[in-house]
Structure 1
Amino acid sequence: MEFVAGGELWSRVAHERGNLITEGDAIRVTRNVLSAIVYLHEHNIVHRDVKLENVLCIDPDLQKPVQVKLADFGLCSRLSGMDESLKSSVGTLQYWAPEIIKERNYGASVDLWACGVLVYISLSSQFPFSGEDEEEYCDSVLREEVEFPEDLWGNVSDDAKEFIRGLLSEDPTKRLTADEALKHRWITEHPSLEIEEEEGSRAQSEEEEAFAVPKSIFGGKRRTPAQILAKVRSSHQGG
């Protein structure tokens, strides 16, 4: 097996000095992850657990531009064709696409939704949806549009926001595919990528606020996905 020395991408976002991921880093990370997803989807494989903890940084040196690899294929499912669908509720709840929450058949596009959540967190240190517990978080996914508060997103490009909206489309048929996402202008044309690659390093402010994941999302009494979703789905029977 290959040794990837840089640790989880999560540790860069939740670093004691604050979020160490710049927009240029986020582009590189997204490009790496999407390249892996493209490969999987070309082989009719759905990853089903794309998240920060399953993206591993190649180099432990925090001064170098981030390059990553996608890991943890334990929940992958091979389809007989990309028009086949899945139904089991597996993976990490905060990255579940709406069709999983609604217990509908789903396909490879759930990986792109998860990628959208990953990019949102990487750029803002926050989840795109909110909730005091897992049940409320799922309900937020089904009821709310993704937003970009000015205090968190004021310095992030409009292309990045458009890219995330394309991934976090509630309708899986309108969601960007992995190929389409790789060709998006945020991935191919954003100037910060070229600038940071030329510099090869970045200055990080020591005063950056440390990223705190809302404890209410992960803490407290754990319930099974079936228990959480039973209540969420009961209020969305017609959804």
Structure 2
Amino acid sequence: MPPKRKASGETHPHKGKSQSSASQKPQGFKSYTLSHAYRLIEPGPVLLVSTGSLSQSTHNIMTIGFHMVMQHESPPLVGITLGPWDASFATLQKQRECVLAVPSVEIAEKVVDIGNTSAEDSEINKWDRFGLDALPATKVDAPLVGGPHVIANVECVVEDTAMVHKYNMWVLRPVQAWVSASEEEGGRMFHHRGQGIMVADGEVLDFSRRMVKWQEFVD
């Protein structure tokens, strides 16, 4: 069925509002800066991203806070924002693979410092400087991030670059995932709220029995 055409004189629903009603504030709320809106909805933990090749000693590591789950199977897909301002951009573009590591809150300060150190600014090896263990992955050349305070590692290959030019958004396909034997799965991750403010996971609320519509996704 063809889309219904607008009647003559019909306006966009937002454009039809009067100036006075548009300026009114909803009860109990106040206006928030649009450029900061990501701080209200960014749910994912801060991640470490390793690129390059461990065997060729070209591996690098960086920190990101912008990412999203795009699809959980057939195949699983994850989106990350990584732009040309990052030294890892060219490497990811060339090798089309990386590792996403989930650090625990115990090394939050170290993770922030990694994010404030660029491989382009100096010849310092960030793995050595921050005492990180680079471990061989099984499906990609980029290394896993080892250590007692790394919750998980996900080996990924680039699935789609259609949004890289416009949005610096890479669609990755996980090809192997690992969880730490010493950290509980879903341990204390931490999240970036903007302006360098982090929030750590706290109380765990288990509503698995209430997920009656999505039981196929409950282990």
Fold match (TM-score > 0.5): no
Structure with the larger strand share: 2
Bigger relative CO (Cα 8 Å, ≥ 6 apart):
1
Structure 2 length-normalised TM: 0.28
Flag the structure with higher helix content: 1
Please give the TM-score of this superposition, normalised by the length of structure 1. Answer: 0.26
